[in-house]
Structure 1
């Protein structure tokens, strides 16, 4: 799907039809010269943009461009890419340099041919029927598409490539393993699904499949497993899957007539980071920070410090358990998390600005859920803590896509982060207590501090907290290597702060390069753990 990225009406109409309220769109530019009029581009980013893989690259957008605001609302970055098919070149007139000298080439939103949360249409007949309400016109082709494959999304971190989504151009290029593996299938997680096949010293990760809650995505997953297994001649002797009993991937694994290995979600994250960095089977301190993962105690984990190897793990610290009113539905309404956390901790919120826009009856229902422990599962999630702070600070009470509140909080924080003082916090018996931290946020809101400063202090707090726990763990164990994994580490501000502080403290720090830190890299960790299971 394409539209004029400089036309606000066209972009808004595409959002309306596609059902994509706020998530940023990617933009295609005719060439690097045109792109540089709109975005800051360094040498490493230019090399990535012009390489043969042609991913979408996150770039800092320049001030006062004519890109429509609603292409990437409330963002300071833009997902930019260059043409990678002959059709793209024709659309953008890149082939005619004389024409380009006379007028500025068009700048186009380029997004997948689907409604939000549905698989990409890959068949002409299906597209004409299913996407008729979405597209004004169709350009059809007689060349069949056999496999759905999204664009890869990446950014440059220093001089390193970092994946947010690993797909076209990179998958299924193998990750080299530091050990000989048995034929293994790891089916990944429920969200941002990828799967992994291992053979000898190679791990073949699939392209981004998507969120498995959609029946068509699940069918695509099954087809891709069959195709890649045949392509790489892997007949699995082991199938690894998430411990969560309700995942569709778990159900798929249970149907296979091979040995099953359930793998804890956050252990898989740390193992993926270790394999990404070609580590052998030794223990590291793993900071596994994300939104949701099924814990060994049945609670929702997500702010975990593990002592982990491929063979096993020990949970040495975690965020304080707090209630998640409404369960998974709360992730779409950060205000519910903020109110639920405050109710559990005995914090007063009624005078805060974000509360004034909320329905009083809805607020009381959330508080009753917490008091009576009704549909309010316990969570130690770092992602949910970001949501709570973003809501308290007035950034966003409701979201239209995953991690929107946290992403916008980071954007606002960047100008304040250097020199911002951390909030107070306590660590007791391996549990990070959050009452003092959230009270500090509330006090800053009451004193009318800007949301960006509150966010900056919050980022500094998490960094200080992580470093303190790592130092304490090193004192107890002598382990000096730290692996950072989980979707929260896609936050570049937090990653840079923490990595630098840990390195200054003489830690060896590992993060992801070949695979995403989010659940898109989870299957790699599942596969290597399964190969070390007895």
Structure 2
């Protein structure tokens, strides 16, 4: 017989650059399958024949390489022109964005062992293989091969080339493959001069001496110091001008356990290939200056060989905070680091592999519903999300997101690509980074938008950008109300069908422009992707001083206490504040817009407990301290009986009484319980009357684990949708904008 009958198998998903072809090759060897496998523009294509074909086909979705993700396996009959005699990995043909790009992955156990043991990569800080190492952070363009990465300038030595070309080797086609003979070089410099000797050993010595180091990581520089040294922490805070914002920490898992509670779910998250910062309940074993006023610590495990080597010599814990000036994006280049971090760092641990794009560390936490992403960063981007049923024909949409925690989103081919965290667009450098990321993602994923989506707020930089682009290109532009976008993002992540029916959306955050021209922020919406109505709201209150109200929590406390008929309590709590001037401005309607903001309500309660006088040093400080302060279970504060208006005046009257009768922890707990119950009772009514089919929880306030837990408890027995891979804060806003725009066009 001249030919053979077999199968043509198309595998789609994250199957390129992750060792999938060697996986197929090994599988074929084991099962006696003949044929070939290759990469192409759609994914992986397999031509296969042999008696064990059913087992071979079924195994293609089992025991995958660590970084692979199969979304579909499609098989059709195939006739070979000539009977194959073996199984080959053949050269790739074409390339396309449909195959996806792999996020950076933490060092695998094999590479971690290799740098510690004898061999040519012992102590080498850039060891990697197909199962780990840099990906997105070094990629310049597609196709993903060495010539299109920042490894292009490092020519492989014969030993690395042999590993790269051997399908039986775990480094087969690992594009960042390197060794001391041919790869990037590490050094330590101080005072503008390279320091002789082992750079890692010298870095560890300097950490022990209390110095501040700038360390070049995967997506940018970190600033590092000994987290157990109060003096080093004080020095870093003073130099970086970061008085209160918590520092991220790095340590090995045994050291993390010394300083924080690590439940199994958190351990799995820490040890995942994404290796995010995970918020953990702290033990009282580190100086308070690590995370002032908070009971959680943000820990990550070492995720590069360099970090492993450093922690081998300095066990930690080590502060690993973003290497940047306050409010600016992370520094990535060596020259930029010297210029911007020279007044902060005593020495620099550097290398000569360029970083193609800035990637902050991701931040995640474990909630009663499992892991939730607070900041989408290194290790998660640029993975895609499937679109819900009904969106199969969605056009290519670019949604630009909000102003703070910016992260645009692209819809294409039944998937959503939500970008990594880009920061606050008020900062000129963050704005430049947004524009660069927009062009970057469009080029890498071959995305030409057919429509644009943005927030309603005309003052958002992203909104103005979308409007300008829409006018210049003629593309249709959909303005999406802020809280509707939050609701749609939660629906979309949970794959709620386009025609799944209305849900009750509890959306609690700082502020977002409502369709009535006022600021919203404490909302119960009834709606779906196509539209919504406002079923209930937090009673609005003035924001005295406008943006100043978000910086100075006492302003919010004053207006809420005054509204509750308790001006004398405000006078007693804030004797040195300019109360008369603020009250006069409110009475005159000068720079005191009304807002139904749940975020500002948190600030008001925190101010009554004097948690961060006179002003917050970072966004969310008051609310985070209030969450930390809350202790035990407590009776909820009353929040008014009006089904459409949630009035906190009764709560403030009860709180004022409790200031002299209860502990601050009990007051904080009663507030959380009261807010959760007030919204949950009204949402439950919508479901039980048949107006809604489920409840969705979204908005930045649901980063608060206590509020989330209490709200879920109050909704017990109902179907409830929450966030996981998509941030509940404005980092997920663009996904909702894109889905609303797609739904309105359907």
The TM-score bracket by the shorter chain reads over 0.9
CA distance 1:344–1:157, shift in 2 (3 Å): closer
User: Over residues 210-267 of structure 1, what are the superposed CA-to-partner deviations in whole Å (9 max), with x where a residue is unaligned?
Assistant: 0100111111111111111111111001110000001100111012221111000000
| SS of alignment partner, residue 51 of structure 1 | coil
TM normalised by structure 1 equals 0.93
Aligned equivalents of 2:612, 2:437: Cα separation in 1: 37
CA contact (8 A) 1:26 1:79 kept: yes
**Does 2:415 align with 1:202?**
yes
| SS of alignment partner, residue 736 of structure 2 | helix
CA distance 1:364–1:433, shift in 2 (3 Å): same
Alpha-carbon deviation of 1:172?
1.4
Aligned equivalents of 2:641, 2:522: Cα separation in 1: 13
Matches of residues 67-466 of structure 1 in structure 2 within 5 Å? 67-93=286-312, 105-158=315-368, 160-178=370-388, 179-180=391-392, 181-256=394-469, 257=473, 258-281=475-498, 282-350=501-569, 354-356=573-575, 358-359=576-577, 362-397=578-613, 398-413=615-630, 415-416=631-632, 418=633, 420-428=634-642, 430-445=644-659, 447-466=660-679
CA distance 1:111–1:424, shift in 2 (3 Å): same
CA contact (8 A) 1:304 1:315 kept: yes
Aligned equivalents of 1:396, 1:139: Cα separation in 2: 36
CA contact (8 A) 1:343 1:370 kept: no
CA contact (8 A) 2:452 2:478 kept: yes
Match of 2:267 among 37, 41, 46: 46
Alpha-carbon deviation of 1:434?
2.1
Instruction: Choose 1 or 2 for highest CA Rg.
Output: 2
CA contact (8 A) 2:502 2:693 kept: no
TM normalised by structure 2 equals 0.67
Aligned equivalents of 2:719, 2:238: Cα separation in 1: 47
Alpha-carbon deviation of 1:476?
4.8
CA distance 1:261–1:176, shift in 2 (3 Å): same
User: Over residues 64-118 of structure 1, what are the superposed CA-to-partner deviations in whole Å (9 max), with x where a residue is unaligned?
Assistant: x1x2210111111100011111211222116xxxxxxxxx823210011101211
Aligned equivalents of 1:168, 1:251: Cα separation in 2: 28
- Aligned length, in residue pairs: 513
Alpha-carbon deviation of 1:126?
1.6
Q: CA RMSD in A?
A: 1.5
**Residue 2 of structure 1 aligns with which residue?**
224
Alpha-carbon deviation of 1:345?
4.1
Alpha-carbon deviation of 1:160?
1.8
Aligned equivalents of 2:518, 2:591: Cα separation in 1: 13
| SS of alignment partner, residue 353 of structure 2 | coil
Aligned equivalents of 1:222, 1:112: Cα separation in 2: 21
Q: Which structure is higher in RCO with an 8 Å CA cutoff and minimum separation 6?
A: 1
Aligned equivalents of 1:492, 1:3: Cα separation in 2: 29
CA contact (8 A) 1:269 1:288 kept: yes
User: Over residues 123-161 of structure 1, what are the superposed CA-to-partner deviations in whole Å (9 max), with x where a residue is unaligned?
Assistant: 211221122211111222211112100000111224721
Aligned equivalents of 1:490, 1:60: Cα separation in 2: 15
Aligned equivalents of 1:122, 1:42: Cα separation in 2: 34
| SS of alignment partner, residue 714 of structure 2 | helix
Match of 1:467 among 680, 691, 703: 680
Aligned equivalents of 2:266, 2:706: Cα separation in 1: 18
CA contact (8 A) 2:564 2:653 kept: no
CA distance 1:475–1:85, shift in 2 (3 Å): closer
**Does 2:745 align with 1:526?**
no
Alpha-carbon deviation of 1:273?
0.2
**Structure 1: which 5+ runs fail to align?**
95-103
**Residue 62 of structure 1 aligns with which residue?**
283
Runs of 4+ residues deviating >4 angstroms? 350-353
CA contact (8 A) 2:399 2:409 kept: yes
Alpha-carbon deviation of 1:45?
1.2
Aligned equivalents of 2:333, 2:372: Cα separation in 1: 32
Write 1 or 2 for the structure with the bigger share of helix.
1
User: Over residues 320-348 of structure 1, what are the superposed CA-to-partner deviations in whole Å (9 max), with x where a residue is unaligned?
Assistant: 11111001111111001111222344323
Aligned equivalents of 1:329, 1:159: Cα separation in 2: 35
**Structure 2: which 5+ runs fail to align?**
1-222
**Residue 100 of structure 1 aligns with which residue?**
none
Identify which range, 515-524 or 432-441, moves more after superposition: 432-441
Aligned equivalents of 1:267, 1:331: Cα separation in 2: 22
CA distance 1:236–1:367, shift in 2 (3 Å): same
CA contact (8 A) 1:25 1:109 kept: yes
Alpha-carbon deviation of 1:477?
4.2
**Does 2:248 align with 1:26?**
yes
Aligned equivalents of 1:154, 1:353: Cα separation in 2: 39
CA distance 1:507–1:215, shift in 2 (3 Å): same
CA contact (8 A) 2:519 2:595 kept: yes
| SS of alignment partner, residue 387 of structure 2 | strand
Aligned equivalents of 2:570, 2:333: Cα separation in 1: 55
Alpha-carbon deviation of 1:12?
1.2
